[in-house]
Amino acid sequence: MSALSLHRPEENTAPAVPPELLHIDCGAHTAAVEALAAKLAATAVERDKRGGTALAERALIRQSGLLTLSVPRQYGGAGEAWPLIYRIVRRLAASDSSLAHLYGFQHLQIATILLFANPEQQQRYLSGTIEHNWFWGNATNALDGNIALQAVSDAAGEHYTLDGFKTFCSGALDSDMLNVSAPRGGDPANRIILTIPSRRAGVHANEDWDAIGQRQTDSGSVRFEQVRVEADEILGPPGPGGSPRATLRPCVSQLVLTEIYNGNALGALAAARAYTLEQARPWGSSGVARAAEDPFIQQRYGELWSKYRAAVSLTESAARTLQEAWDLGDAITPQQRGAAAVAIAEARVFAARTALEVTAQIFETMGARATASRWGFDRWWRNVRTHSLHDPLDYKLRDIGHWLLSGEPPLPSIYS
């Protein structure tokens, strides 16, 4: 028997969260999103403790009908716009931050095909995504250095051979298709992105991700041993950086991160609210009969909720800006791309800082007994703390400040 459950032995799982607080309008997909989120939530605390690959939950995503929403209609997809995709990421993150990350990165990989691939490749990979319901992974971390992974071409240039490894390969495990970045022939200035089936001979996704948060994103390493890559598996033209439009990829990526933060903040607030209403005791000198009537607790909810709402409003605005930039197609100018990048940077920094604050401070509304491990209330903070370090927020702020002062948008890179 647990000391912390003595008074309520029946309460050994997280309290049910009032659904309305979590409700996010996802249009025609709302019911499917809610159903998936509910299934993920049911085991999220336990799986956070366990870590590792969430095979069953990845299967739930595959079965949800939501995996391919961003594939354009011409390839048989639903052609949903980015603001909707991001709302789904947020909603799923409020239940399960790791799986929401994998879901968001699925669409980042689809965006990668749309932005980097030539028409023939788009047809092949996007139709395939619809036909086979592919779950995509990535091995595109740019910080592993030149020696980590090499793409060496044969004399005729007809195929390449991959040798080496990559780290932070979110979603590679249990994936069907894999986007990979590598310097061509060891030249760091000549970075290519290529697409291969994840089960191709020589590709070894390792079960070695063990971080303090985002524990089921499988963001571990992939080892490549003499992996053959055909010439037409190298994405492009345009490939990465080949056009202003192609540089939208980090914009898509950064907003996935942003909505992970927002989703964790929302999930934390919803879980805390349920606890405050169902479990928390009024403090002795508060003079109130229920914790929910405590003026300091109400004040803190007001403060955290207002900040969360500001973060969501800013993110939604940035998502609309991204969609406008996306819809410009090849006509997009560097200045228009820069405006979107700045809007997204603003949202990312603000949402990250807000989510760190919200997920840390929810405890003040619940009290000491809420630190019992079985509630898993610290996972929200651990998720945000882990994910917000993806690339330094201070440099995002510098980019924004430099733009404000000079009018020069951030240089397109893998992070900005």
Asked whether the beta carbons of 162 and 224 are under 8 A apart, the reply is yes
Query: What does the radius of gyration of the chain's CA atoms come to, in whole angstroms?
Result: 22
Q: Which is nearer to a second copy, 105 or 168 (CB)?
A: 168
Tell which positions 148-187 bind a second copy, by CB under 8 A: 148, 165, 167-169
Tell which positions 97-126 bind a second copy, by CB under 8 A: none
Q: Which is nearer to a second copy, 56 or 310 (CB)?
A: 310
User: From the CB of residue 243, how many other CB atoms can be counted at a distance below 10 Å?
Assistant: 17
Using the contact rule CB under 8 A, the part of the chain among 9-17, 40-48, 55-63, 218-226 near a second copy is: 218-226
Using the contact rule CB under 8 A, the part of the chain among 180-188, 192-200, 238-246, 379-387 near a second copy is: 379-387
Instruction: Please give the C-alpha separations between residue 120 and each of 114, 229, 231, in angstroms, as whole numbers.
Output: 11, 17, 13
Out of 124, 184, 228, 390, the residue judged to bind a second copy by CB under 8 A: 390
- Residues shown for the chain: 416
Out of 45, 350, 358, 380, the residue judged to bind a second copy by CB under 8 A: 350
Is there binding between residue 300 and a second copy (CB under 8 A)?
A: yes
Shortest Å distance, C-beta 54 to a second copy: 17
Out of 101, 191, 273, 337, the residue judged to bind a second copy by CB under 8 A: 273
Parallel, antiparallel or unpaired: strands 149-153 and 136-139 = unpaired
User: What's the CA gap between 180 and 92, in Å, rounded?
Assistant: 26
User: What's the CA gap between 332 and 149, in Å, rounded?
Assistant: 32
Is there binding between residue 363 and a second copy (CB under 8 A)?
A: yes
Instruction: Please give the C-alpha separations between residue 15 and each of 10, 246, 290, 311, in angstroms, as whole numbers.
Output: 11, 45, 17, 26
Around 134, how many Cα atoms within 13 Å sit in the side-chain half-sphere? 29
Tell which positions 3-62 bind a second copy, by CB under 8 A: 3-4, 6, 21
Using the contact rule CB under 8 A, the part of the chain among 57-65, 112-120, 306-314, 333-341 near a second copy is: 306-314
Block residue for tokens 């990350």: 101
Shortest Å distance, C-beta 394 to a second copy: 4
User: What's the CA gap between 338 and 110, in Å, rounded?
Assistant: 22
Using the contact rule CB under 8 A, the part of the chain among 52-60, 184-192, 253-261, 275-283 near a second copy is: 275-283
